[in-house]
Amino acid sequence: MMRLLRIAIAVSLLVSPALLLAQRPITLGSIAPPNSLWDKALKEMASDLQQVTNRRVRLRVASSSQGDEATIVRRLKLNSTQAALLSQTALAEIDPVFNVLGMPFFFQSDDEARHVLSALRSTFEDALADQGFVLIGWGHTGWAHFFTAEPVSTLEDLRRAKIFTSAGDDAMVQWYKENGFDPVPLAVTDVAMGLNTGLINAYPLPPYAVMLVQYYRSAPHMLDVPLAPVINALLVTDRAWDRLSSEDQEAFLSIGKEFEDNQWDEVPRQDREAIDLMRGRGLTVSIPNEAAIVTFRQTADKLTSSMRGTMVPQDIYDLALRERNSFRGQ
């Protein structure tokens, strides 16, 4: 018996501390609602990663159970959470270069947005690395559209609305004000209250997300002019990353790429289905004519350019604009 005990102790001493750390689960935080397509996709990714790495890398997905995104970022810095799917708004709190991803009317298609993401990837990776994070891949929440309590069809209509803006996003609040809009900063958890009390009467969100939270019941009109793709980043802390073998890091990146591709394929389809479903429940969709859309975009381009050197660093804006125009053949 003593001999077996001595053998067990000897074996335990041979196990490297790095291996023990690698076997510790990586907690991944996000604000994705339970059973939403994002929550399911994250859990599928976790299952695939565990299988491919023979359980050496285990992800524990904690969607919507770790508070808002500001809380998730704090937990990342404290190492109580080691990975996350963060929205562009949260990313911009880490580094303002990510504001380029949320510029209204800057992109016109998913392909265009993904081209710019690819072209600027090293810039984004460096920005995250400076803060202790590794970029795994890009998620997609859909294209934000304005949902309003009253029908709107022009930018002037929107200027008369009280628009929900994420609390803490001071740069966007200031931009709205400087361009004649009426932003109302609120926590995401207070949007329903704001709609029900009239504190806000307009908000920009993707259709599938609106369907999940049923905000369309208080704001039953949608302007069918895509505002911007709501882009997320899947990232992991460098402390968690460094404890993985190079083989497992490659597996993580490969499965992260599959997650990214699936998101950009699946989310647009879900958005279209969500619009059809909400229409059946009373949503009205305003579709501007071609001339109105041209006017809308010309005005919007001037508004977007005002972000250069203010919300978005000048060099990042210029690089994104050059890559976008290159994609368009301009």
| Contacts for 181 with CB less than 8 Å, ≥ 6 apart | 158, 159, 161, 163
Query: Is it the case that residue 170 has pLDDT exceeding 90?
Result: no
Distance CA 154, CA 135 (A): 38
Distance CA 284, CA 267 (A): 21
List pLDDT tens digits, range 232-257: 999 999 999 999 999 999 999 999 99
Token pair in block for residue 9: 């102790």
Query: Is it the case that residue 17 has pLDDT exceeding 60?
Result: no
List pLDDT tens digits, range 48-103: 999 999 999 999 999 766 678 888 999 999 999 999 999 998 999 899 999 999 99
Task: Give me the pLDDT at residue 222, please.
Answer: 97
Stated pTM of the model? 0.88
Token pair in block for residue 306: 């005002």
Distance CA 191, CA 225 (A): 22
Using the structure block, give the residue that is written with the tokens 């073998």: 245
Task: Give me the pLDDT at residue 53, please.
Answer: 96
Query: Is it the case that residue 15 has pLDDT exceeding 80?
Result: no
Task: Give me the pLDDT at residue 6, please.
Answer: 43
Helix pair angle (110-119, 314-327), 10° resolution = 130
Query: Is it the case that residue 126 has pLDDT exceeding 50?
Result: yes
Distance CA 58, CA 251 (A): 12
CB-based burial label for 17 (10 Å; 0-12, 13-18, 19+): exposed
Task: Determine how β-strand 221-237 pairs with β-strand 284-286.
Answer: parallel
Token pair in block for residue 219: 């704001």
Token pair in block for residue 324: 């976008």
Half-sphere exposure of 12 (CA within 13 A, CB side): 6
Query: Is it the case that residue 203 has pLDDT exceeding 60?
Result: yes
Distance CA 208, CA 206 (A): 6
Domains of the chain listed by start with CATH number: 15-327 (3.40.190.170)
Closest CA to 186 of 178, 196, 150, 275: 196
What are the distances in angstroms from CA 99 to CA 186, 219, 232, 285?
Answer: 19, 27, 12, 28
Using the structure block, give the residue that is written with the tokens 């990714």: 45
H or E element that contains 223: strand 221-237
What are the distances in angstroms from CA 103 to CA 113, 207, 208, 232, 321?
Answer: 11, 18, 20, 14, 11
Token pair in block for residue 122: 């090293």
Which of helix, strand or coil describes residue 60?
Answer: strand
